[in-house]
Structure 1
Amino acid sequence: MAVKDSPTGWVNEHIQKYVETGGAEGHEWRPGVFTLLLTTKGRKSGEMRRTALIYQRAGDDYVVVASQGGKPQHPSWYLNLAADPVVDVQVEADKFQARARTAGPDERDRLWKLMNEVWPSYADYQKKTDREIPVVVLEPIKG
């Protein structure tokens, strides 16, 4: 099935470079800031949709933030994974399936701090919105 990439211009360009180079270009988005590609199944369309997200490792898991720059609504990719938590992930050239889940309160605090260390703007995004910005854990599916 064909994958639709983010319609946001600069994100789309980032994804294309990432895919074309197996992450050699795009994995390190800015100095010390690394990205992965997340593909979710559209909850309404059923289409596969891909976006690039800043991530951090937490043990064997990958952590991402559904910030959408502090907009009042959750990003589409987050709504998609809430409907179908099995997602495709690419980190550099490594591609795998993962099960996505929203971090619970205690875990969220720890992971929120972890993510803010690499991207301090998340704290500013949280101030712009009344919604609690979700922290998402991507657990690779073994086997």
Structure 2
Amino acid sequence: MSSPAYRPPDLLLVGPEHVRRYRETDGEVGYEWNGAPILLLTTTGRTSGQARTSALIFGRDGDDYLVVASQGGAPQHPNWYLNLLAAPAAEIQVRAERLRVRATTASDADKPRLWSIVTEVWPNYDAYQARTDRSIPVVVLSPV
């Protein structure tokens, strides 16, 4: 059985630099990354209590925003996801718009439909899932 196709992304804009450029330009720089839309997710650090911001690919399901806790197929969940499990109230920025959201992990019943939405946006998620034994969560960010 062959593993899903993987398309290496351009990593010129990642991490804190991506967040900084996105914020200072209201997404003019950084909203589109490797052909995928990006939002900024700000969570509350589960240990520090400090605001933590990540630039994440997203999909849409009606009014909800969908993000994937893939961490490239790493064996552990990303810190932003662990922060949301501890404190599901968060904020997102989509271009210049800032919204308060509440995070929930997609149920086993909803995940296949939502997974198809996010893999349409970023097909590499299938390759990431093939790299790990953990079930990669789809997170639903619902505006409040």
> What TM-score, normalized by structure 1, do the two folds share?
0.90
Query: How do residues 1-143 of structure 1 correspond to structure 2 at under 5 angstroms?
Result: 10-31=14-35, 33-141=36-144
Secondary structure, counterpart of 1:106 in structure 2: coil
How far off is 1:107 after superposition? 1.0
The secondary structure found in structure 1 opposite 2:110 is helix
Moved over 4 A (4+): none
- Tell me the CA shift for residue 43 of structure 1: 0.5
Q: Which amino acid aligns with 1:11?
A: G
Percent identity between the two aligned chains: 55
Q: How many residues are treated as equivalent by the alignment?
A: 132
Shift of 1:12: 1.3
Unaligned runs of 5+ in 2: 1-12
2: CA distance between counterparts of 1:128 and 1:105? 20
Query: Unpaired runs of 5+ in structure 1?
Result: 1-8
Provide the TM-score with structure 2 as the length reference: 0.89
Match of 2:5 in 1: none
Q: Kindly state the Cα deviation for residue 30 of structure 1 after the two structures are TM-superposed.
A: 2.2
| Post-superposition CA distance 1:47-94 (Å, at most 9, x none) | 110000000111000000000000000000000000000001000000
- Indicate the SS of the match to 1:124: helix
Distance in 2, matches of 1:29 and 1:94, equals 18
* 1:10 shift after superposition: 2.5
Measure, in 2, the Cα distance between the counterparts of 1:10 and 1:90.
Answer: 16
Rounded to whole Å, the distance in 2 between the matches of 1:72 and 1:30 is 24
